Structure 1
């Protein structure tokens, strides 16, 4: 279990996080979601022993973090938001070095992840793209089969195919009973891989719950150009490009059917930004 109680961290006068609390059970992936600068990385750095909290408490497996981090460190797998390695070191040499930090690394499992993600172990790190560096970070985090995974924006830089393979690897690991903290600013991937979520903004938790409730906050942005009609039950906002509607996923088929009953020049369907979802959520809370 990972448990966070009222964590607070300031950088001088600047806010990091304030009164952040959540709990993650065995066999559960918890999505910590928020825009950049919300406080996700600060929370994660405290949990991995890289920062001391100003107040509050954090526990991993019952051990107080960061004070007792050494008692549980070998059972943690961590993917940082920014991945850096020794530039001149080859990947294969790094993997050999990495094995020394753990008692029993399953070489077959290591090879499985290398093959799954398509990692070129003969390359030097300075020759790797961001995505390929992130693959090695995933390997390093998973290879010792840790009970606790702390993942800070783990799919950043990965192409869609590798993302899907990573999701599969993560789900297989979770089913072993692992505890997973999954930080992201992408709502759709939190829906895909997590069972519960906590939404953080400006250093504070503003919403927490079952991942299915995220569907209540998700919608599509539909921009229609050259449209002069009205659609009963849907309120649009006129702008210089035409008119924009926010349509719930479950209502999209009905909405598009009604749109085709009118003349229009063009239509574009987009995902909203996470910031827009937050703003929409705030407005609904005020109402």
Structure 2
């Protein structure tokens, strides 16, 4: 189990996190969601032993962090938000080097991930694109089949096809009983993958619960062109011969049904900017 209780961290006078408490059980994917600067990475850096807390505590399998990080390090898989390994080392050399840190690297599983993600192991790390660097980070984090996965914006830089492959890998580890912390600012992937979530704002958890509770704030921006009428149940703003609606995800079916009673030229549905959505929710 991963357990964080009333965690606090400041960088001098600047706030990192103020009060964060979450609990992640085995076989669970827990989404930590918030805009940039909310405190997600600070929380993760304490969990992975890179930072010490000012107050509260973080534990993995009962071991307090960062003091006892060496007792659980071999059981952790970690994907950082920014991936930086040894630039002049070829990927195949890096993987051989990485095996020295774990007792249980499954070489067959290593090859399966390499093939699934399409990793060129003959290239040097510095020669890779951002997306290909992230693939290596995924491989390095999963290859020893850890009991705990800590993922900081793991899909940034990945194209949609690789993202789907990554999701399938994460789901497999969940089935193995892995406790997974999945930090993201992408609401849709938290909805898709996670069992529970916590929303963090200015270093504090302001909302948490089962993933179904996210439907109360999860929305889509629906722009309708050439609509001369109004929909009684939905507010809108006028933008260049179009009406823009912010519709809760759970209400989209009802919205489309209502809209079908009127004439319009075109419709566009997209995810809102998470920062904007959070500002609306915070108010």
Check whether TM > 0.5: yes
Q: Distance in 2 between matches of 1:205 and 1:254?
A: 31
Q: Distance in 2 between matches of 1:250 and 1:39?
A: 28
Partner of 1:79: 79
- 1:214 deviates by 1.0
Partner of 1:182: 182
Matched, 1:236 2:236: yes
Partner of 1:49: 49
Partner of 2:18: 18
Q: Distance in 2 between matches of 1:215 and 1:255?
A: 15
- 1:263 deviates by 4.0
Query: Deviation digits for residues 25-72 of structure 1, max 9, x if unmatched?
Result: 111111000111110000000000000111110101100000111111
Partner of 2:194: 194
Question: For structure 1, which segment, 179-188 or 235-244, has the greater mean C-alpha deviation from structure 2 after superposition?
Answer: 235-244
Partner of 1:100: 100
* C-alpha contact (below 8 Å) 2:3/2:23 kept by paired residues: yes
Partner of 1:213: 213
TM-score (structure 1 length as normaliser) = 0.94
Matched, 1:133 2:133: yes
Q: Distance in 1 between matches of 2:27 and 2:262?
A: 50
CA RMSD of aligned residues (A): 1.4
SS in 1 for 2:214: helix
Partner of 2:27: 27
Question: For structure 1, which segment, 198-207 or 240-249, has the greater mean C-alpha deviation from structure 2 after superposition?
Answer: 240-249
* C-alpha contact (below 8 Å) 2:215/2:250 kept by paired residues: no
- 1:241 deviates by 5.2
Greater than 6 Å deviation, 4+ residue runs: none
Partner of 2:114: 114
- 1:226 deviates by 3.5
Show structure 2 runs of 5+ residues with no match. none
Query: Deviation digits for residues 258-278 of structure 1, max 9, x if unmatched?
Result: 334434444321111212322
Query: Deviation digits for residues 92-144 of structure 1, max 9, x if unmatched?
Result: 00000001111121111111111111111011111111110101000100111
Query: Deviation digits for residues 164-216 of structure 1, max 9, x if unmatched?
Result: 11111111111111111110000110111110000001111000000111122
Q: Distance in 2 between matches of 1:170 and 1:263?
A: 44
Partner of 2:40: 40
TM-score (structure 2 length as normaliser) = 0.95
Change (3 A) 1:103 1:157: same
Q: Distance in 2 between matches of 1:116 and 1:239?
A: 44
Q: Distance in 1 between matches of 2:253 and 2:109?
A: 44
Matched, 1:62 2:40: no
